[in-house]
Structure 1
Amino acid sequence: MSKKPLAEIAKDMAGIDIAILSTHTDNGEIDTPGIVLIKVKANRVTYWKGREEGEVAP
């Protein structure tokens, strides 16, 4: 039996929202030496916002 990986190293930036990604850097640049982008495929997401919490699943 084989399983699909849940995460992979993103080697291609196609399909990645660069505007959102660049807000998380000091200078707005995303080509930072030594930094790797990991693309995760989640089955569900749990979130917390203040005292509110929830879960999103397909």
Structure 2
Amino acid sequence: MSKKSLAEIAKEMAGIDIAILSTHAENGEIANRPMSNNGDVAYDGTSYYFTYENTRSISDIQRNANVALGFSSQAGLFAEGIYIAVEGTAELIRDKTAFHRHWTNDLDKWFDNGVDTPGIVLIKVVADRATYWKGREEGEVEL
């Protein structure tokens, strides 16, 4: 198994906006949902996602903060895509100062009052482990 640095993988991930966030549901099953990192695609091992307080993802994280993220880039006819699996720990942030640091105008279509939208929460996921697959190459990321 080969090893790539986080910087090498971050270059490969540039432009990937959608991740699949996996949490542990109340019944022990795995729950998955697509999440946008809202164009904040410079990856340093930490990801941020906005959602509402009353979602299943929030109740799942409150019960068990161990989560997974799945990323994939578009593979074209002659280009190889990359697939990245991240295991990490989620933290729920309710601080408007942090909201402002990660806010983009694209979020306005989902949250009517911007960072003042009632019930908004920022999910922060810090990677503990990451693996990747690109063509025939696979390996771990040095975090």
- TM-score tier, shorter chain, comes to 0.3 to 0.5
Q: TM-score, normalised by structure 2?
A: 0.22
Higher fraction of strand? 2
Higher fraction of helix? 2
